[in-house]
A and B are shown apart, each in its own frame.
Chain A
Amino acid sequence: MNRKHVLDLDDFTADEINLVFENADAMKEILSRPIKRVPTLRGLTVVNMFYEASTRTRVSFELAAKNLSADVVNITSSGSSVVKGESLVDTIITLQALGADAIVIRHPEAGAPYLVARHLRGSVVNAGDGCHAHPTQALLDSYTIRERFGFVSGLKVVIVGDILHSRVARSNVWCLSKLGAEVVLVGPPTLLPPTGNGQSSRLGLPPVQQSYDLDSVLPGADVIMALRLQKERQQSGLLPSMREYVQLYQINRTRLSKANPRVLLMHPGPINEGIELAPDVAYGPQSVVADQVTNGVAIRMSLLYLLLGERGGGA
């Protein structure tokens, strides 16, 4: 793969995405072994910088790097000089001097990984930046779809929830569009990207269908992806009430039955059970939420290998 960083999927080709998937297949094979470890990245240091709380993504990246025998250092905002007011650039310069070969960064501000990439000689992987992008999540989502259906192209994927603030939705729009899926974004008007005058641009997101009416778009859906709804959206006036949101947009058994019989139910986690997903469907037979988590490790191993593999000591 001819790239140094993974900051967004907007500049990925379908071929590159498929290369990541093919490598992930090999990584899944490694993950099925009793000793899930290969020496590929021996001697390299991967720094996980998490400026936002995260369990699954952080652990997933940590396991991915360790399975490839990299040395892993974890930095979280509460335990670092972030609280002392040290700037991100200063932190990066310090980590560079300490020998970081790659930085995995999660940050509350959109674009922060680009700032890191400009100051680091090594690779940067975006583990989620503000409302902008979460490329590894989108890759593992499409990988999970591909695993179940054998392909992604032509499938109808309905993404429902707080699209406006969702980096997962944005990265999925890029990834799924590039792979040829039909994407429908569903949510209340206050939680969809603005579509007023002059909103189309060659520099915008890929054009996809938007709808306020979940029930009308469910027929024919092959995948339903529900997004986490932050409770503060109601406090900031974007929603009249959670109760109404549940009525209009919660995925429950009745709604699942309107989609294709083979429909996959996905969620990037952590789930607010009883809000975006009814408790009985969250881990029901259609749910692939657990597969998403497992595949996340394989996808991240694949990316780290593709970015750093040639520099590692154990190829």
Chain B
Amino acid sequence: MRLLIRGGRIIDPANSADDTGDLLVVDDRIAAISFEEGRTGSWNADTILDAGGCIVCPGFVDLHCHLREPGQEEKEDIASGTAAAARGGFTTVCAMANTKPVADSLSTVNYILQAAAERGSVRVRPIAAITRGLGGSELTEMGELARAGVVGFSDDGKPVANSLVMRHALEYSRLVARPIIQHSEDPDLAQGGVMNEGAVSSRLGLKGMPAAAEVAMVARDLALAELTGGWLHVAHVSAAESVELIRRAKQKGIHVTAEVTPHHLVLTEEWVAGERGRWERGFPYDTNTKVNPPLRTAADTRALIEGLRDGTIDAIATDHAPHASSDKECEYGYAAFGISGFETALGLLMELVRQGELDLGLMVDRLTIGPARAFGVSAGSLSVGATADVTIFDLDREWVVEAREMASKGKNTPLLGLDLRGKVVATLVAGHPVYVADGYRAREISPLEAI
């Protein structure tokens, strides 16, 4: 099987490439790449994908998502979650451990790996829990779990509050060479909060979670990472001061990596009040804006973007957190935390690219080689010989976020009904198309006549 992806703008930050060219995939590998016009006429191919006007880049790597299987299949399962990932251009996704049962044992991790092999559209790399049952006290068998193939450890959804337990986890991260992924939140400071603490929470009468709840935990964990020499990964950074702390820690040589979500980069607390930036006003108390960490202020988004630019933040991760409609169709205080994020990630990030806040190449970097390097995952490049995980997207394609179009079971996004510009049109995993947008297949893929 020989597939020629022709005429696209190939952006491959791992190889410092950004030019119009052709990409040849043979079976599951990148076989050749050329930026010379006309040269590829001599390449034989069974299929040509015309990528003219589109970006061709490595498949996106998501360090943080919730696939909900096993145990909460009413919210999402591995089949629907990875189908949504494919629609979003993600070819490798790291699945969080807060399933039911918790992914804290070999048997659950093996179940996830097997289910992903059977039913997954994209590569699933499990993350195991730091503590048994996410209980915050006893470490999981990290050595054994690492050998089974987990990419990291996290109690995500909950912080590891106990400093001594966190110290031990970070010490063990040296043994297993995997990151300890912290959901950074001081549980007492954030207790009962449902949105960012500030002017908007005061007006709406909703209990706030102060940015300091995150910042305090990031500061503690950086001190513990320095003490232990362990590897800390700060999940979903949301506050400006956290970025500054991580920046200084990296300068000091502390082993820390970090990620930020598209929603924390683009949306603010004003969305909870129904103010939605360039889009028309929505209604206040939309439970789809309820997410942890909460949407913060415009000043925070600016600091997060700056952190992404200067490398303080290594990766963009979705924190895809699907929920059933009954989890969200209720009072704000009772609603579940989380945003379904795979399918809108690119469209949302393109807002920043079009505003000139984020360079297109940098965005691709932080979706591909950035996360791959952060976790030491072999992915995220179009190097010749690499596995052919490829994403093709159209910068200008306009579309409207519709629940019925989403592959995820979780329709919980505050972007429902809103227009986005920029859409993935095809996703390949190991050279095999796992998603092709409507209209793209019919128009663009055709068997090649012999040349």
Interface residues of A (CB under 8 A from B): 10, 87-89, 107, 109-112, 114-115, 118, 129-133, 167, 170, 193-194, 196, 198-201, 203-205
Is the C-beta of B334 less than 8 angstroms from some C-beta in chain A?
Answer: yes
Q: How far is the CB of A128 from chain B (nearest CB, A)?
A: 10
Contacts of B297-311 to chain A: CB distance below 8 A: 297, 299
Task: Enumerate 16 A-B pairs (CB-CB under 8 Å) in ascending A order.
Answer: A109-B331, A109-B334, A110-B204, A110-B206, A111-B284, A111-B331, A130-B205, A130-B333, A170-B203, A194-B208, A194-B210, A200-B199, A201-B270, A203-B270, A204-B200, A205-B199
Q: Within 8 Å CB of B157, what residues of A?
A: none
Interface residues of B (CB under 8 A from A): 197-200, 202-208, 210, 270, 273, 275, 283-285, 297, 299, 326, 329-334
Task: Please give 13 more A-B residue pairs, beta carbons under 8 A apart, in addition to A130-B206, A132-B204, A194-B208.
Answer: A87-B330, A109-B332, A109-B334, A110-B204, A110-B205, A111-B332, A114-B283, A115-B285, A129-B205, A132-B206, A167-B205, A201-B199, A201-B297
Looking across the interface, which residue of chain A has its beta carbon closest to that of B331? Answer: A109
Q: Within 8 Å CB of B273, what residues of A?
A: 203
Q: Within 8 Å CB of A170, what residues of B?
A: 203, 205
Q: CB < 8 Å: which of B204, B207, B285, B329 contacts A89?
A: B329
Q: How far is the CB of B252 from chain A (nearest CB, A)?
A: 25
- CB-CB nearest 10 A-B residue pairs: A132-B205, A204-B199, A111-B285, A131-B205, A201-B199, A109-B331, A110-B205, A193-B202, A109-B333, A111-B332
Q: Within 8 Å CB of B198, what residues of A?
A: 194, 198-199, 201, 204
Q: Which of B270, B284, B297 has the most CB of A within 10 A?
A: B284
Q: How far is the CB of B233 from chain A (nearest CB, A)?
A: 27
Bound-complex Cα distance A131 to B202 (A):
9
Q: Within 8 Å CB of A10, what residues of B?
A: 203
Looking across the interface, which residue of chain A has its beta carbon closest to that of B208? Answer: A194
Looking across the interface, which residue of chain B has its beta carbon closest to that of A173? Answer: B203
Q: Within 8 Å CB of B334, what residues of A?
A: 109
A111-B284, A114-B285, A203-B270 as given contacts; A89 in contact with B330, CB under 8 Å: yes
Bound-complex Cα distance A194 to B212 (A):
13
| Contact of B329 with A87 in the complex, beta carbons under 8 Å | yes
Q: How far is the CB of B310 from chain A (nearest CB, A)?
A: 22
Looking across the interface, which residue of chain B has its beta carbon closest to that of A114? Answer: B285
| Contact of B285 with A204 in the complex, beta carbons under 8 Å | no
Looking across the interface, which residue of chain B has its beta carbon closest to that of A108? Answer: B333
Bound-complex Cα distance A194 to B208 (A):
10
| Contact of A111 with B210 in the complex, beta carbons under 8 Å | no
Q: Within 8 Å CB of A167, what residues of B?
A: 205
| Contact of A203 with B275 in the complex, beta carbons under 8 Å | yes
| Contact of A112 with B202 in the complex, beta carbons under 8 Å | no
Q: Which of B200, B332, B334 has the most CB of A within 10 A?
A: B332
Bound-complex Cα distance A162 to B207 (A):
14
Q: How far is the CB of A105 from chain B (nearest CB, A)?
A: 11
Q: Within 8 Å CB of B329, what residues of A?
A: 87, 89
Bound-complex Cα distance A55 to B65 (A):
48
Bound-complex Cα distance A10 to B333 (A):
21
| Contact of B332 with A110 in the complex, beta carbons under 8 Å | yes
| Contact of A118 with B283 in the complex, beta carbons under 8 Å | yes
Looking across the interface, which residue of chain B has its beta carbon closest to that of A237? Answer: B188
Q: How far is the CB of A33 from chain B (nearest CB, A)?
A: 38
Looking across the interface, which residue of chain A has its beta carbon closest to that of B197? Answer: A194
Bound-complex Cα distance A205 to B205 (A):
10
Q: How far is the CB of A183 from chain B (nearest CB, A)?
A: 14
Q: Within 8 Å CB of A194, what residues of B?
A: 197-198, 202, 208, 210
Q: How far is the CB of B58 from chain A (nearest CB, A)?
A: 37
Q: Within 8 Å CB of B203, what residues of A?
A: 10, 170, 203-205
Bound-complex Cα distance A129 to B333 (A):
11
| Contact of A199 with B202 in the complex, beta carbons under 8 Å | yes
Bound-complex Cα distance A289 to B270 (A):
37
Looking across the interface, which residue of chain B has its beta carbon closest to that of A130? Answer: B205
Q: How far is the CB of A202 from chain B (nearest CB, A)?
A: 9
Looking across the interface, which residue of chain B has its beta carbon closest to that of A174? Answer: B203
| Contact of B210 with A201 in the complex, beta carbons under 8 Å | no
| Contact of B199 with A115 in the complex, beta carbons under 8 Å | no
Bound-complex Cα distance A167 to B207 (A):
13
Bound-complex Cα distance A241 to B206 (A):
25
Bound-complex Cα distance A87 to B327 (A):
11
Q: Within 8 Å CB of A114, what residues of B?
A: 283-285
Q: How far is the CB of B368 from chain A (nearest CB, A)?
A: 33
Q: How far is the CB of B300 from chain A (nearest CB, A)?
A: 9
Q: CB < 8 Å: which of B202, B207, B299, B331 contacts A205?
A: B202
Q: Within 8 Å CB of A198, what residues of B?
A: 198-199, 297, 299
| Contact of A115 with B331 in the complex, beta carbons under 8 Å | yes
Q: Which of B202, B207, B330, B332 has the most CB of A within 10 A?
A: B202
Bound-complex Cα distance A129 to B204 (A):
10
Looking across the interface, which residue of chain A has its beta carbon closest to that of B196? Answer: A198
Looking across the interface, which residue of chain B has its beta carbon closest to that of A107? Answer: B331
Q: Within 8 Å CB of A118, what residues of B?
A: 283
Bound-complex Cα distance A275 to B251 (A):
55
Q: How far is the CB of A99 from chain B (nearest CB, A)?
A: 23
Q: Within 8 Å CB of A130, what residues of B?
A: 205-206, 333
Bound-complex Cα distance A196 to B202 (A):
12
| Contact of B199 with A203 in the complex, beta carbons under 8 Å | yes
A201-B200, A205-B199 as given contacts; A115 in contact with B330, CB under 8 Å: yes
Q: Within 8 Å CB of A200, what residues of B?
A: 199
Q: How far is the CB of A66 from chain B (nearest CB, A)?
A: 29
| Contact of B204 with A111 in the complex, beta carbons under 8 Å | yes
A114-B284, A194-B208, A198-B299 as given contacts; A88 in contact with B331, CB under 8 Å: yes
Bound-complex Cα distance A130 to B206 (A):
8
Bound-complex Cα distance A293 to B285 (A):
31
Q: Within 8 Å CB of A132, what residues of B?
A: 204-206
| Contact of B199 with A199 in the complex, beta carbons under 8 Å | yes
Bound-complex Cα distance A82 to B337 (A):
23
Q: Within 8 Å CB of B297, what residues of A?
A: 198, 201
Q: Within 8 Å CB of A129, what residues of B?
A: 205
Looking across the interface, which residue of chain B has its beta carbon closest to that of A116? Answer: B331
Q: Within 8 Å CB of A205, what residues of B?
A: 199, 202-203
